[in-house]
Amino acid sequence: MIINGIKIENTFAEAFPMKVARLIITADSKYWLKQAANSITGFATSVIACGCEAGIEKEIKSSKTPDGRSGIAVLLFAMNSEGLAKQVLRRVGQCILTAPTTACFSGIETNEKINLGDAIRYFGDGFQISKKINDKKIWRIPVMEGEFVIEDKTSIASGIGGGNILIIGDSNQQVLKSAEAAVKEMRKVDNIVLPFPGGIVRSGSKVGSKYKNLIASTNDAYCPTLRGITKTKLSKSNESVLEIVIDGTNEKDIEKAMKQGINIICKKYNKGIKTISAGNYGGKLGPYHFHLRKIMK
């Protein structure tokens, strides 16, 4: 498959099941809203070392938030419910409770729930109070600027981690430019986040390493500087490879994000780009396989 001169490889992105929480953060101003959202989603690129993967999903109009203020939805992913519960508690306690004017609410509704305000409330040292609003339990925790409002529980759901595309080209500058354009398009899709810095990762990995203590290491097949000494997947002219990783709440929206990202590259940012590929591990890593050519049909 060739689209506007770019080869779409006959391969698939291999993804795996995760657990996901969607939190709605509100604040008096967009400045403090973004400060809180950036903080809670910081150091959350990969579960390999960060404990969770997270990102800003979208902004929410005041008419759609629980307290009628401007809001931001964030998605946090972990490998299991227990791990996700720990990350949510730590990050909300350190990054949302501390941020001026903020409040925090559950952004999804499922039968599986974890503690949110029910654990954070103890910071109130006995001065906290609860009330019910529209059948939802809310905690009011006294803080030095007034009070912090937080929902008692947050629902969690099944999610998917590790959707991805690889952008391969003959120019570092052009590959980065095309990746930035793809990220901009992908972020228009609901229910997904791109957890790496700016949505892009240059240090793509493979499973395993020559060093026993490492579970992942550099994807040498896509490293241009190793082309002459490893089993490479690059041509002689390929000088740069960048990866975009997508986590989402469902397969459909991950596919949509991948398609929109690839489309914008092929249509408007194809200069110097030779191939669109994806990272997979022969189907052994996860049950979700996003086939590029099927998506781009």
DSSP string for residues in 84-124: HHHHHHHHIIIIITTSTT-EEEE----S-EEESHHHHGGGG
Domain 18-157 has what CATH class?
Answer: alpha beta
pLDDT of residue 98: 98
Checking if the pLDDT of 295 tops 90, the result is: yes
Give residue 75's identity as a one-letter amino acid code: L
Bridge partners, 113 (sequence order): 155
**DSSP 3-state of 228:** coil
DSSP string for residues in 241-267: EEEEEEEESSHHHHHHHHHHHHHHHHH
| CA 244 – CA 30 distance, rounded (Å) | 27
The domain over range 2-14+159-295 is classified in CATH as 3.40.50.10490? no
pLDDT, tens only, 72-129: 999 999 999 999 999 999 999 999 999 999 999 999 999 999 999 999 999 999 999 9
Q: Where are the domains of the chain?
A: 2-14+159-295, 18-157
pLDDT, tens only, 193-215: 999 999 999 999 998 899 999 98
Query: What is the H or E stretch that residue 60 is in?
Result: strand 53-60
| CA 267 – CA 144 distance, rounded (Å) | 53
| CA 37 – CA 159 distance, rounded (Å) | 20
Indicate if 18-157 has the same CATH topology as 2-14+159-295. yes
pLDDT of residue 31: 98
Task: Give the position of tokens 């191939």.
Answer: 275
Contact at 8 Å (CB) between 245 and 192? no
